[in-house]
Amino acid sequence: MSWQRLTIPKKFGGLGFKQLHGFNVAMLGKQGWRFLVQPKALVSRVFKARYFPKSSFLEAGLGANPSYCWRSILAAQDLLRGGVRRRIGDGRKTLTWGPPWMASHSNSVVDSSPPLFMPNMPVHFLIDERSNCWRMEVVRQWFPSVVADRILRTPFSAAHEDGWFWAGTLHGGYSVKDGYRRHVGEVEVAANEVNSTRCWHIPVAPKIKVCLWRAIKNILPTISNLNTKGLNIVNVCPICGLGEETVEHLFLHCPYAVTIWARLGLRVIREGSISAHAWFWEVVQTTSRSELQLFAWAIWALWKARNAAVWRFQVPTPSSTVCLVTDTQKSWSRSTSSRAVGLPLPSPRPVRSGAFKLFVDAALFPPSSMVSFGCVLFNHDGSFFAALNGELVCETDPDLAEAMACRRALGWAREQGLTELEVFSDCSRVVDAINGESTFLSYIGSIISDCRGLLSQFNYATLSFVPRTSNVVAHVLAKRVVMEAGV
């Protein structure tokens, strides 16, 4: 198999090896990313003074007499151009018709023509400082309706400065892994390709997974495959001697294999002519996890029996092969189960007797690009106190919507004059982000920062995750906004 096919991700039939050039570019992108987010670092200041004194790294050129180091880093410039975005804070350091800054996933660049009298207008001119909102009349007047809608759905917080973030991640930071994925791009997979994800997750030894993968990809050194590589070998099955040795014959049509499948109780035999690829795909789709585990061990045992016939001129009896399959499976299961160590359960958070309970949720409706929220407040004794729902002006991004819903609900609870509060959400990613201490560079970062600030204003406040089944009331309130709007 060629190296190019081996670099395909495992779920698409490859082994997930890295393309060396792409991985090198992704690692160089890390240094270019530091030029953007750490402009005061010594190395950033040295390179900026030498190669791009009046611009940023994204607009830098090769320059005269460049060093080998600069040539290498500049190779990742196109990668960063395609993935970085500006996050709007106060809007003072970002040009409206400059780098992409809108929160839209489809198009984050303002692609309309700038006015002649102000081509370098900063985004700050579109923000109303007193209300901390977009100047809707100005946005609607200067931009086409599609662009204006994307601008108005972009959240911002004037308390923060503008900054760079990497698109497509929750935290907004660049990583070599994310850079490599963007550089390689989408993998083109044939329509009849087996999704190998389930094969790699079978609880068997790694060598069994590799053997099964090689069988699925038809790259086992059977006589037929060896002859296609230029060898001249008499093509006859070394086990039964009744047909040509192909992957289909070895595992499906050989009388020896038919006997093994029957004794193992696996109904994998198919009548008529069927390719190994289609057969494996059907087996993976129709068998249970335990049967698939036994199937993988049997494939390895059949290949082991074939090698014994080729190299030692001895064909194991079907009974010995079946015993090999069952014994090795049981031995592997025992050895791996003994390694499993139960994780300690998290200690339950003490219940505050006088705290109010606030449940919050967001709902997304992509066809209409509408996002709504709902929250319900209960007394400390569990009785209903108040509820609120409404529309959120943001992109249809689940994490962003949930974070904005939390911010809106916390602000509303603060307006009620509450001092002790327990907040519950069914979005674990947002709950973990708010409760954590990590810095988020993406648009959700300013929302998370606001939520942390609102929580600190209470005498006692906690934010916890609850399953959707425990947050039904807030979810229904959020969906009701769309029902009332008739969308």
Three-class DSSP category at 22: helix
244 or 159, higher pLDDT: 244
Going by pLDDT thresholds of 50, 70 and 90, the confidence category of residue 345 is: very low
Looking at residue 197, what is its pLDDT?
Answer: 75
Percent of the chain with pLDDT over 70: 94
Q: Kindly state the average pLDDT of the residues 226-253.
A: 93
Nearest to 309 by CA among 239, 357, 376: 239
* Whole-number Cα distances in Å, 125 to 90, 112, 353, 368, 388: 10, 17, 48, 29, 33
Give the single-character DSSP code of 460.
E
d(CA 102, CA 96): 10
Is a pLDDT exceeding 50 seen at residue 330?
yes
Give the single-character DSSP code of 102.
-
Q: What is the pLDDT of residues 359-372, one digit of tens each?
A: 999 999 888 889 99
Tokens linked to 481: 């906004």
d(CA 83, CA 275): 42
Looking at residue 346, what is its pLDDT?
Answer: 44
d(CA 126, CA 128): 7
Q: What is the pLDDT of residues 47-88, one digit of tens each?
A: 999 999 999 999 999 988 999 999 999 999 999 999 999 999
Is a pLDDT exceeding 70 seen at residue 339?
no
Q: Edge-to-edge, what's the strand order for the sheet holding 420-425? A: 384-392, 370-378, 356-365, 420-425, 460-465
Backbone angles phi, psi at 342, to 5 degrees: -65, 135
174 or 342, higher pLDDT: 174
d(CA 300, CA 242): 21
Decide: residue 452, CB within 10 A, 0-12 exposed, 13-18 middle, 19+ buried.
middle
Does the pTM surpass 0.85? The reply is no
Looking at residue 286, what is its pLDDT?
Answer: 84
Is a pLDDT exceeding 70 seen at residue 423?
yes
Distance from CA of residue 107 to its chain's centroid? 20
Looking at residue 53, what is its pLDDT?
Answer: 94
For the chain, the average pLDDT equals 89
Q: What is the pLDDT of residues 167-217, one digit of tens each?
A: 988 899 999 999 999 998 766 555 455 567 778 888 999 999 999 999 988
Looking at residue 483, what is its pLDDT?
Answer: 82
Is a pLDDT exceeding 70 seen at residue 289?
yes
Contact 179, 30 (CB under 8 A): yes
Going by pLDDT thresholds of 50, 70 and 90, the confidence category of residue 399 is: very high
Three-class DSSP category at 284: helix
Q: What is the pLDDT of residues 261-286, one digit of tens each?
A: 999 999 888 777 788 778 888 888 88
Nearest to 477 by CA among 354, 366, 392: 392
Q: Which of 13-22, 301-310, 337-346 comes out lowest in average pLDDT? A: 337-346
Q: What is the pLDDT of residues 94-141, one digit of tens each?
A: 999 999 999 988 789 998 888 888 888 999 999 998 888 999 999 999
Residue 185 is which amino acid?
Answer: G
| Ordered structural domains, the chain, with CATH | 1-83+178-191 (no CATH), 89-161 (no CATH), 204-335 (no CATH), 356-485 (3.30.420.10)
Percent of the chain with pLDDT over 90: 70
User: What distance separates the 2 farthest-apart alpha carbons in the chain?
Assistant: 89
Looking at residue 447, what is its pLDDT?
Answer: 92
Q: CA-CA-CA-CA torsion for 259, 264, 267, 273, nearest 10 degrees?
A: -30
Per-residue burial over 293-316, b if 16 or more Cβ lie within 10 Å, else e, is bbbbbbbbbbbebbebbeeeeebb
Looking at residue 195, what is its pLDDT?
Answer: 61
220 or 269, higher pLDDT: 220
